Amino acid sequence: MAQSHCINSPTTLAGKLSLRANSPFVSPRLLKTSISSKFNSRKFCSMVISASSSPSTVSGGPLKSLLLDNSERKNELMDAIKISLSNCLSETHLDSAVPGLHSKTRGKVRDIYDGGDYLALVTTDRQSAFDRVLASIPFKGQVLNETSLWWFNQTQHIIPNAVVSSPDRNVTIAKKCSVFPVEFVVRGYVTGSTDTSLWTVYQKGVRNYCGNALPDGMVKNQKLAANILTPTTKAADHDVPITPEEIIRSGLMSESDYIEASKAALSLFEYGQRIAREHGLILVDTKYEFGKGSDGAVLLIDEVHTPDSSRYWIADSYEDRFQKGLEPENIDKEFLRLWFKDNCNPYEDEVLPEAPEELVSELSWRYIFLYETITKSKFELPSTKEPIHDRIASNVSHALSSLL
């Protein structure tokens, strides 16, 4: 029997979300994370991974097309990636190193520092999925920050954003604003592996998801007839789907703010899909966050079209692989999600296996590959002469002093 899927009663959620509704720019998600230094060898053996084709087992076949065309660039970067495996930016402590930063909020990926009228958002190398941190990925923080900055700049014609400056490769200085406690998830395909993914709920018989009617007979990775918006919000420590009516009725957003943000989300996604397609990629789905500035303007915040917040597939192999029932070639974190689902229960296991170095290195390369493919810019490896934390502290200190 077809089902409808939505969250619990608005009154319950309003109580759970009171803190997030008043949070600054990037909403904090304080989670306890357990990453084991050991992993179950039997589970690891269930997926043989090599440095050159680690995700091929996950995606159902050998890599080709854009990824293969860039094998020379991959070889250039892989030595630096492997050297940096033990030197990732997993934690920062700018509140004790930079004058003017008063407090720190540790998110799953970003460390957020309060600088009065501004926030210093430091994107670390922490890798999250399943509402917890799974590993640290070399250069990931820099890739996410620089990818978002590129998209923020490219999408100002759709909606203004909160970015003030970027004094460091891993840092964005942003206007402080009130964050709407809603994530605007936009989807173009029936896919995914998490509890809130469209394919997961579709398999369970859900045919009305966040106010969207879904037809029977769809299969995994199939393109939707039109892009849909499936908002989520926070309950305790995980995302839950919510309908537009529930968002407004529970007071999470006003009707006018919701309409403005939802229209912007769909326009951003359509624009992102067009740019991705021009570069040989498919933007499959993504999430956006919005806030309200001191002047009442709705602003785009957090991150835009990164491989953390989005799924990307290789365009020229999608149709052939779909017809054969194979997973698309992906250049986001999906194959890391799938590895953990194959080797543990990432939602319930207190201690998780450690991701294999080959998988971590491959993900680092794919993040860099996405940045270079979308922006048509060469990723600049950071200098190793200065400790990364010292570099960030110095750059943030100079940036904040110029704003005061």
d(CA 21, CA 277): 35
pLDDT of residue 16: 29
Q: What percent of the chain has pLDDT over 90?
A: 71
Measure the CA–CA gap between 133 and 68, rounded to whole angstroms. 30
Q: What pLDDT, on a 0 to 100 scale, did the predictor assign at position 2?
A: 53
Query: In angstroms, rounded to a whole number, what is the distance separating the alpha carbons of residues 199 and 190?
Result: 5
Structure confidence at residue 66 (pLDDT): 67
* Average pLDDT of the chain to the nearest whole number: 85
Q: What is the pLDDT of residue 243?
A: 96
Type of residue found at 44: F
Q: What global pTM score does this model have?
A: 0.83
* Burial category of 212 from C-beta neighbours within 10 Å (exposed 0-12, middle 13-18, buried 19 and up): middle
Task: Give the tens place of pLDDT for each residue, 282-304.
Answer: 999 999 999 999 999 999 999 99
Residue where the block lists tokens 């080797």: 343
Q: Which three-class secondary structure string do you get for the chain?
A: CCEEECCCCHHHHHHHCHHHHCCCCCCCCCCCCCECCCCCHHHHHCCCCCCCCCCHHHHCCCCCHHHHHCHHHHHHHHHHHHHHHHCCCCCCCHHHCCCCCCCEEECCCEEEEEECCEEEEEECCEEEECCEEEEECCCHHHHHHHHHHHHHHHCCCCCCECEEEEEECCEEEEECCEECCCEEEEEEEECCCCCCCHHHHHHCCEEEECCEECCCCCCCCEEEEEEEECCEEEECCEEEECCHHHHHHCCCCCHHHHHHHHHHHHHHHHHHHHHHHHCCEEEEEEEEEEEECCCCCEEEECCCCCCCCEEEEEHHHHHHHHHCCCCCCECCCHHHHHHHHHHCCCCCCCCECCCCHHHHHHHHHHHHHHHHHHHCCCCCCCCCCCCHHHHHHHHHHHHHHHHC
Q: How does pLDDT run across 140-197, given as a tens digit for each residue?
A: 999 999 999 999 999 999 999 999 999 999 999 999 999 999 999 999 999 998 888 9
Q: What is the pLDDT of residue 234?
A: 83
User: How far, in Å, CA of 119 to CA of 104, rounded?
Assistant: 10
* pLDDT per position as a tens digit, 52-98: 333 333 343 444 456 666 788 999 999 999 999 999 999 999 999 99
Identity of residue 335: F
Q: Do 19 and 239 form a contact (C-beta atoms < 8 A)?
A: no
**Half-sphere exposure of residue 48, counting CA atoms within 13 Å on the CB side?**
1
pLDDT band at 15 (very low <50, low <70, confident <90, very high): very low
